[in-house]
Amino acid sequence: MTSSFLSLSLSSRYSSFLPRFSKLATVNILSNMMIPLAGICDTAFLGHLADIRHLAGVILGGILFDYLYRILKFFRNGTNAITAEAVGQKDPQKILLAGLRSALVALAIAVVILILQYPIQKFGFAILSGSPDVEAFGVDYFNGRIWGAPAVLLNFVLIGWFLGQEKSALVLAISLVGNGSNVILDYLMINRWGWGSMGAGLATALSQYFALLVALIGAAVIINWQVLPKALKEVLDWQALKSTVVLNGNIFIRCLAVITAYSIFTNLSAGMGTEVIAANGLLIQIVLLSQFAINGIGLTTQTLISNFKGKGETEQMMTLLSVSILSGLAIASTFAGISILFPQTIFGLLTTHDDVSQSAISYMTWLLPLLTCCASAYILEGYVIGLKEGAKLRNSALTALGFGFVPVAWVAWHLQSNHLLWLSLTLYMVAVTISLGVKIFGIAGNQNINRTKLTTQLETVELPLDSNLQYYRKPQFPPFASRNIYLLDAQNVNAALLTIQIFLLL
């Protein structure tokens, strides 16, 4: 019913992918949003203990895992891109190899993490500042949670593998089981058994293994067992393995740049006083929550772009990008708009300290430019990852960090200006958007091609002899090239609005 409605409402260039886009984006947003919601449950259980140092220690130890695992999420993105392209090519062996090779690399890194867990713990807590007793509870949390590393990394790979095949139900099931079991285990280990911060770490680790069990069962159901023996023989093919490692390595550098920017932002906020770090902390929670939703659109864009690339349907790419950007901007504007219009209600849920709420409200207006720029940046990144253009992704992130964020953050620190600090974070996203936009639309650098010349770069195709015309010309547009296309035309806007309506209906 939905497909027929779409066909009547929109041209075929939209109706061919919009139902897939809506379904994938909805599942990605829901599964992403479960992550911070589960974290809120963790905080609630620990926050009701008599000794608040358990909560403080878990927050301290959680910073290490946020840094470590957010960086390693490149496994999900890289596996997604490689798998979706193989699906587009209709090559079952490549589909299987995409998962196997990424899983092999993930397991190797997980083993290294477990072997080096003691120096990682010592180095991490040496950088973080906490009192000795709070740090002791943080170490307990770290020692419990670190054993979940193999499951976390394999889940990243398998979720990326399922997303590449558009197995959205499996992705949602993994998220439900993983986050749901985390809440149940938290209740048992923290409230019922009194294990405190150690229990919180073990609960999180065990919940990842429950999620992995669901993922492995799903993989066993959909795997093509006939091609498995041949695929296993080619898993260690060096050139293919190298290609996987290079793509994941470039995505890793991008993740490192983003997390570094947010870490510097947090540290500089702390240096400006308790009220500033508290206010910025509240605002960052809204930013991160919205980014989980926006990332759902980015992942969907990545999946479909890779699939189009595998099929050779490059003419769909720019249409998809238009709908993705408009959908992302709609989500970002909604989060920012609700926060700006109802600040007392929003911050009343997060804190009872009126002075902190008032301080956060004075910087609230930064949410709109920051979140809208985040939407554009993350979706363009999804487009580039989908094309497996890892070098472009890496270079844009390093450029944004070095020339967009750091100079303004340095000035903000010396002037002790929190407004400039928010500007630095916004400029990071602006720099990513401009850098990738230049590469995608070919308006600078080695894509310096004259628009008129490009539109006359045509393929001559011979028509049947009984035709009145002997030849016609068909334009050829590569994915990274300038073209005479208006991205924000009326149908693109209608498609984006219809997509949002489908999200609400689902």
Cα dist from 278 to 133, 281, 368, 426, whole Å: 22, 5, 20, 19
Backbone dihedral angles phi then psi of residue 52, each to the nearest 5 degrees: -70, -10
Q: Which residues pair with 472 in a beta bridge?
A: 461
Give the residue-averaged pLDDT of 280-292: 82
> How confident is the model at residue 236, as a pLDDT?
78
Q: Look at residue 259 and tell me whether its pLDDT is greater than 80.
A: yes
Q: Are 83 and 167 in contact (CB under 8 A)?
A: no
CA distance 328 to 402: 26
CA–CA distance, 415 with 443 (Å, rounded to integer): 36
Task: Give me the pLDDT at residue 442, please.
Answer: 63
Determine which of 174-188, 257-271, 275-289, 314-328 has the lowest per-residue pLDDT on average: 275-289
The mean per-residue pLDDT over the stretch 428-438 comes to 92
- Above 70 in pLDDT, residue 470? no
Grade residue 39 by pLDDT with cuts at 50, 70 and 90. low
Asked if 78 and 102 touch (Cβ cutoff 8 Å), the reply is: yes
pLDDT at site 445? 38
pLDDT of the residue at 272: 82
- Based on the number of CB atoms within 10 Å of its own CB, is 332 exposed (0-12), middle (13-18) or buried (19 or more)? buried
Q: Helices marked H in 272-389 — which ranges?
A: 274-311, 317-341, 343-350, 354-361, 367-386
Across 47-61, 92-106, 172-186, 471-485, least confident range = 471-485
State residue 230's pLDDT score.
Answer: 84
Using the predicted structure, report yes or no on whether residue 4 has a pLDDT greater than 70: no
Token pair listed for 401: 């960090």
Question: Any long-range contacts for 259-268 (C-beta under 8 Å, 24+ apart)?
Answer: 259/66, 259/67, 259/70, 259/71, 260/401, 261/400, 261/401, 261/405, 261/425, 261/428, 262/425, 263/67, 264/405, 264/406, 264/409, 265/409, 265/421, 265/424, 265/425, 268/409, 268/412, 268/413, 268/421
215-219 long-range contacts, CB within 8 A, separation 24+: 215/154, 215/155, 215/158, 215/159, 215/162, 215/170, 215/174, 216/158, 218/158, 218/162, 218/167, 218/170, 218/173, 218/174, 219/99, 219/158, 219/161
- Specify whether the CB–CB gap between 454 and 487 falls below 8 A: no
The predicted pLDDT at position 134 comes to 77
Q: What is the pLDDT of residue 401?
A: 94
According to the model, what pLDDT value does residue 43 have? 65
The pLDDT tens digits of the residues spanning 51-96 come to 767 777 777 777 788 778 878 888 888 888 889 888 888 888 888 9
382 to 15, 68, 344, 479: CA distances (angstroms): 21, 21, 35, 14
Per-domain residue ranges for the chain? 1-15+245-506, 49-236
pLDDT at 27: 83
pLDDT at 350 (0 to 100) = 65
Burial class from Cβ neighbours inside 10 Å (0-12, 13-18, 19+) for residue 452 reads: exposed
Nearest-10 Cα torsion for 8, 12, 17, 20: 20
Q: Over the stretch 204-256, which tens digit does the pLDDT of each residue have?
A: 899 999 999 999 999 999 888 888 888 888 877 777 778 878 888 898 899 88
DSSP H/E element including 13: helix 12-15
Helix (H) or strand (E) holding 129: none
Q: Determine the pLDDT at residue 352.
A: 63
Residue 474 has pLDDT above 60, yes or no: no
Contact (Cβ atoms closer than 8 angstroms) between residue 205 and residue 60: no
Provide the pLDDT for residue 129.
62
Alpha-helix runs per DSSP H in 192-271: 196-222, 228-234, 238-271
Which tops the pLDDT comparison, 391 or 488? Answer: 391
- Taking the C-alpha atoms of residue 280 and residue 42, their distance in angstroms, rounded to an integer, is 21
Residue of 279 and 172 predicted with greater confidence: 172
Q: Mean pLDDT across the chain, nearest whole number? A: 79
Q: Which residues contact residue 192 at a Cβ distance below 8 angstroms, ignoring those fewer than 6 apart?
A: none
So what's the pLDDT on residue 47? 67
Of residues 76 and 457, the one with the higher pLDDT is: 76
Cα–Cα distance between 374 and 336 in angstroms, integer? 12
pLDDT 10s digits, 346-369: 777 666 667 777 888 888 899 999
Q: CA 492, CA 32: separation in Å to the nearest integer?
A: 26
The DSSP H or E segment spanning 191 is none
pLDDT band at 503 (very low <50, low <70, confident <90, very high): very low
Q: What is the pLDDT of residue 458?
A: 40
Contact of 493 with 5, CB cutoff 8 Å? no
pLDDT of residue 476: 44
Q: Which residues have CB under 8 Å from 318's CB, separation 6+?
A: 483, 485, 487
pLDDT score, position 9:
46
**Structure tokens given for 202:** 């073990």
Per the document, the length of the chain is: 506
**Minimum mean pLDDT range among 57-71, 112-126, 304-318:** 57-71
Residue pair 19/2 in contact (Cβ under 8 Å)? The answer is yes
pLDDT for the residue numbered 410: 95
Of the chain, the percentage scoring pLDDT greater than 70 comes to: 80
The answer to whether the pTM exceeds 0.85 is: no
The model's confidence at residue 293, banded by pLDDT at 50, 70 and 90, is confident
Residues 301, 383 contacting (CB under 8 angstroms): yes
Tell me, what's the pLDDT at 74? Answer: 83
Beta bridge partners of 461: 472
Give 103 or 6, the one with higher predicted confidence.
Answer: 103
Q: What is the pLDDT of residue 177?
A: 92
Torsion of CA 197, 199, 205, 210, to 10 degrees: -150
